[in-house]
Amino acid sequence: MSLMSAISSISGLRDLLPHAAALVVVIPLLAGPIAVILAKARLAWLWSVLVAAAAFGLSLVLLGTVLGGETITYEMGNWPAPLGIIYYVDSLNALVISLVSGMALLALLYGWPMVEREIEPKKQAMFFGTFLICLAGLIGVAITGDAFNVFVFLEVSSISTYVLVAMGAGQNRQALTASFNYLILGTIGATFFVIGVGLLYMATGTLNMADISRLLADGDNDRVVRAAFSFIVIGLGLKTAMFPLHTWLPNAYAFSPSMIGVFLASTATKVAFYTLIRFLFSVFHAGAPFETAMFDYVLAPMAITAMIVCSVQASFQPDVRRLLAYSSVAQLGYMLLGLSMGTVAGLSAGLLHMFNHALMKGALFMAVGLATLGLGVIQVSEMRGMGKTMPLTAAGLSIAGLSLMGVPLTAGFVSKYYLVIAALERGWWWAVAAIVVSSVLAIFYIGRMIEAMYLQKPPSHGDDPVIVVRSPILAIVPLYILVAANIWFFFDPSVPKGLADSAATLLLGGGAP
């Protein structure tokens, strides 16, 4: 049985869970305060794992329904649109919801040994409770069909994230500065976004995204709508860490607790990228003159610049997590490049790379966290000889790094291949050249780590033999689940590629948001 048919078979459970679309948000939102009340750290962690597993199971129910050819419209409180808030699940956000909940579960399984070391005991229950609220916010952003509700859930996830990043201060006080910078820029982004939503309400008289889309399609694109478009793109650009609005990201990733680095790198910017796509292609309708100009003269150049400049910055970073953070901004450039093509092939390739990047970057941050836990690794130079001292962690990091480069037999190769094909169809030879150059630069910064791990000797301890440091099994299993996924989705990318193709066709065909 293929992976797609296996997931599709789960859709039979939808008769037992008619409220899955609401429960996938409500359960973690209500469970967060309960985790804090539990007080005992291990109990709060176990509770969080159960809640994340429930959210992931519900997301698979939704995904199975979508793979079965259906879309889900759920009216909160049985209030129909446009008066009520609608939750809408299609091929685009089913992929995002499953990705977010799945990575939350893996991050929690991985995170317990890290949290024990990095977070003060009296704060650990609050840490897990805040994490669940952040999870609810990210899923809520992806599932809601109400524009103002998007803002509310963005703020729920963002405020939780500021707290989680600041909790890294137990290991490095710079986490407080990183959290404060994130707070300031995140607030600016949220302000721009909500001003844009307000202008849309002024122009249409509704907050339901489907209604806004319909009314904009029937009316003239006046200056109010164009202003709303600009505010929303800038606001979501800050949340997505779009170059050059990315300055909050490197420190937030570098100084946050290891578990939060894993979760943020694989989900937060992906959800913001999803939201940008939803507004650009569903609400504003790609093809409007001002939107086409923005794709060609703003987004595409910014994407190319991010791919090259941030790859160069990553190549010179001595700190491992900052290296991976700048790499993330470069990889977001690939996604934005696919979006800016304005074609089904380009958007599909960008979405596929969004999914694959979550897998590879999640694995990379997990491996680096284990290296820090076992050997105290902070700098690339401190990874020397890790292939001997932590062989499983080094192997996992290497495979995920190869996927980031786009080496064949890894998922990263698949999405970069489709990006190249989409760029050639558009006649963008310069984009193909940028993809190649950025991939070559990835060889340099990932190669620095691999060279240190396998070609340099471990730190000398006199005549003592090399000591092998064993990683906690609870942390190594999630790492290798992601490593296996990076290989699996090279050989069978049918689920993410099928969903990406379906979403791109729906969005560029004027499908409902």
Please give the radius of gyration of the chain, using alpha carbons only, rounded to the nearest integer.
Answer: 22
Question: Which pLDDT score, from 0 to 100, does residue 509 have?
Answer: 67
Domain boundary assignment for the chain = 286-513
The secondary structure of 304-334 as a DSSP string is: HHHHHHHHHHHHT-SBHHHHHHHHHHHHHHH
Phi-psi sector, 406: left (phi>0), alpha (psi -120 to 50), beta: left
Query: How many Å separate Cα 483 from the centre of its chain?
Result: 17
Q: Outline where 241-377 has alpha helix (H).
A: 249-255, 258-263, 269-277, 289-294, 300-315, 320-340, 344-375
d(CA 209, CA 512): 8
Which is nearest to 359 in space by CA: 270, 289, 253? 270
Averages of pLDDT over each 10 residues, the chain, 513 residues: 51 58 90 87 91 91 84 79 80 89 93 86 89 93 89 91 87 85 90 92 85 76 82 90 84 87 89 90 72 80 91 89 90 90 89 92 91 83 85 91 90 91 89 91 90 82 62 88 92 88 80 42
For the four alpha carbons of 193, 194, 196 and 201, in that order, the dihedral sign comes to positive
d(CA 310, CA 245): 12
Question: Which pLDDT score, from 0 to 100, does residue 221 have?
Answer: 59
pTM of the shown model: 0.89
Q: Tally Cβ neighbours within 10 Å of residue 304.
A: 24
* Contact (Cβ atoms closer than 8 angstroms) between residue 73 and residue 84: no
The secondary structure of 31-51 as a DSSP string is: HHHHHHHH--HHHHHHHHHHH
* Contact (Cβ atoms closer than 8 angstroms) between residue 387 and residue 458: no
Burial 380-407 (b: 16+ CB within 10 A, else e): bebbbbbbebbbbbbbbbbbbbbbbbbb
* Contact (Cβ atoms closer than 8 angstroms) between residue 95 and residue 496: yes
